Structure 1
Amino acid sequence: MMRFDIVGGGAIGLLYGARLALAGHLVTIWTRTAEQAERLMDDGIELVSQGMIQVADVNAFPLHDCSRAAVQSVEGETKTNHAILIAVKQTQLTVDLLEQIGKLAGPDTLVIGLQNGVGHVDKLLQAVPNANVLTAVTTEGALRHGPRTVEHTGDGIIAFGDPVGEMGRKSASNDEQMERMKQSEQEIRHKMLLNTFSSAGITSELSKEMNNRIYQKLLVNAVINPLTALFDVRNGELPQHPRRASLMRSLFEETVRVLAAAGMTGDEDRWQQVLQVCERTAGNISSMLADVRAGRQTEIEWINGSVCRLAAQYGLEAPVNASVVQLVQAMK
């Protein structure tokens, strides 16, 4: 049995929290508001999937109550079976939140970041230097209905692995034998995490190419999210209009050039992959469109803004990405 602290009570946080709790694991959801925490504590997470409704009992606390005392009060805690799943957007990964995550994480904790874009891994490595920080990408579909109900809208996979390369490096020990022992222990714990996800019916994969996966997801997000927000359409509607499809293609081609320069590899037909995502999630409202409609801060700076910063780093220009950043920011 593992214990999970899930930071964030949005769709993905509730989806993973419900599935892990229903599989018998100990789950605590850390929420932005005390009201949501109270509802989750009293009534559990309501998971809607394939026409069925299940209720998962979880612990829940507001993030401002985050402390070691609260963590240690959870029954069944051990030092080596603890994982923190960070399921908040880049915009919410503030200095205060990172400090709170630091209170949750011990030296043996697996800390898994699920943020879009790039830049979050280095923040996590600095905030929890003694923990085992992993980066992750998920393709699960989820939609939150109210404070405690989440609908599983599409099967996907969660891939995780060690951050490497420019997006985060782990410090190496001077003692090679100690470092090998540490790596062996981490491999065991990573396999335990895979088994845990499997027990909850969650398809997972341990990847040694996480940077590439992050870039691949960034490409999809950079094309779909800002344009659905600007045109106020669902994902499936985006490529149906010829002019929107042409703009999609321009944004796609520019983003591919930048990410390829940054190290994205693979021979896949990435344009078809973007179109397939639109088709597979045709009825979905992108997170950026949802943020615009709700008057919330969007992740545009961390998605297309990340592409612009990578372009500058590699001596390229990204005028289409820069334009959509300005346009989305002007919608506030």
Structure 2
Amino acid sequence: MFIQIVGGGSIGLLFAGKLAAVSDGLRCAIVARSREQRDALAQAGITVQGGGPAGLAALTPEEAAAQADKPDWLLLAVKQGDIDAAFAALIGGMLGAQTRVLCLQNGIGHLERLSASVPPSRLYAATTTEGARRLSATEVRHTGSGVTLFGRAAAETPAADGAPQAEEAEKKLVSALHSAGFDAAVSNPIHVILWNKLLVSAVINPLTAILGVTNGQLPQLPHAEELMRTLHAEASAVMRACGYEPAPDAWERLLDVCRRTADNRSSMLRDIEEGRATEIDWIVGELLREAEARGEAVPALRTIYRLVKALEARPAPRE
């Protein structure tokens, strides 16, 4: 089986590095957004801290689209803000007749953009609670083990090559992820799970970014748990208004993520620290849009959205 990972950030490097270390008939390649990272990965491979470097093919998106050798699975590990119409079209050029696309983004809204270039029967969504921190262009630290669940983004659409073939492809990907040391499973339909993951991301990511703390420190701060509960309740109300029911233990799951990824600095926190745009528009921003469309009042979510946007616009400190 041939798996291609698009994106050289923390999650992309983690999945690519661990999959590349599997020697059981699995081929793995990584697609980096910049030529500089592509060259570094081609020369040094990927090192998941604590292990040796794993060699793999490295390409740019344009090179991946041009090559005749197409993957069985394409794991999309870029940020949601990168998935515009042009990038979605580029992803479409990377696909072969049997390629399936697995999206590892945190929020919602990206599947609709990708569906213009990816056949709905081959588009999958995933949630993962794996924690990772990129140390360099070729090195990553695995900061917390989690669970990866994935399923068809349009479960009601029959697979173009038939359900048995789709199920076989899904089983092969699960097997490859298990061989790489990931806890993974198929879950059809996936949308309730995506929403439950959004409940976690909408609380942990912006609050850690605003407060400058790790995931594990967040619930330990005075007053933070009360704010977490308020945000969780508002996001849950939006989820219900959209026709999905939160898991009965949704709050406990959120706290469990904080515990299992205690040392992890969320991607939103790292973006703020490094002066990059965050994914707030595709996590909390999407919740605000859904809330407005359905008449839900979400004052706490609106406040943290504005705070993160203010942090994004903050001038860089003088040296």
Relative to the length of structure 1, the TM-score reads 0.87
AA paired with 1:8?
A: G
**Counterparts in 2 of 1:243-262, with a 5 A limit?**
243-262=223-242
Partner of 2:207: 227
Partner of 1:59: 57
Partner of 1:33: 34
1:11 aligns with 2:16: no
Structure 2: how far apart are the matches of 1:116 and 1:5?
A: 19
Question: Taking every aligned residue pair, what percent have the same amino acid on both sides?
Answer: 38
Q: Secondary structure of the equivalent of 2:28?
A: strand
Q: Could you list the runs of 4 or more consecutive aligned residues of structure 1 that deviate by over 6 angstroms after TM superposition?
A: none
AA paired with 2:100?
A: L
Aligned with residue 327 of structure 1, among 293, 304, 307 = 307
- Deviation at residue 267 of structure 1 after TM alignment: 4.8
1:189 aligns with 2:179: no
Aligned length: 310
Contact 1:108–1:131, Cα closer than 8 Å, also in 2: no
**Runs of 5+ unmatched residues, structure 1:** 173-178
- Deviation at residue 301 of structure 1 after TM alignment: 0.6
Structure 1: how far apart are the matches of 2:147 and 2:214?
A: 22
Contact 2:143–2:263, Cα closer than 8 Å, also in 1: no
Q: Secondary structure of the equivalent of 1:225?
A: helix
**Runs of 5+ unmatched residues, structure 2:** 313-319
Contact 1:238–1:244, Cα closer than 8 Å, also in 2: yes
Q: Secondary structure of the equivalent of 1:236?
A: coil
Structure 1: how far apart are the matches of 2:231 and 2:246?
A: 19
Aligned with residue 220 of structure 2, among 233, 240, 244 = 240
AA paired with 1:29?
A: I
- Deviation at residue 130 of structure 1 after TM alignment: 7.0
Note the aligned Cα RMSD (angstroms): 2.0
Q: Secondary structure of the equivalent of 1:326?
A: helix
Partner of 1:175: none
Structure 1: how far apart are the matches of 2:151 and 2:251?
A: 26
Partner of 1:176: none
Partner of 1:263: 243
Structure 1: how far apart are the matches of 2:185 and 2:120?
A: 24
1:33-87 deviation per Cα after TM superposition (whole angstroms, max 9, x unaligned):
1111111101110112xxx32211111122344422xx32x5xx6xxx6110000
Q: Secondary structure of the equivalent of 2:4?
A: strand
Contact 1:106–1:130, Cα closer than 8 Å, also in 2: no
Partner of 1:109: 99
Structure 1: how far apart are the matches of 2:206 and 2:120?
A: 36
Structure 1: how far apart are the matches of 2:268 and 2:120?
A: 33
- Deviation at residue 264 of structure 1 after TM alignment: 3.1
- Deviation at residue 181 of structure 1 after TM alignment: 5.9
Q: Secondary structure of the equivalent of 1:160?
A: strand
Q: Secondary structure of the equivalent of 1:235?
A: coil
Q: Rate the CA distance shift 1:42–1:222 in 2: closer, same or farther, 3 A.
A: same
Relative to the length of structure 2, the TM-score reads 0.91
1:116-174 deviation per Cα after TM superposition (whole angstroms, max 9, x unaligned):
11111122221122761111111111111100011122222211111148xxx64x5xx
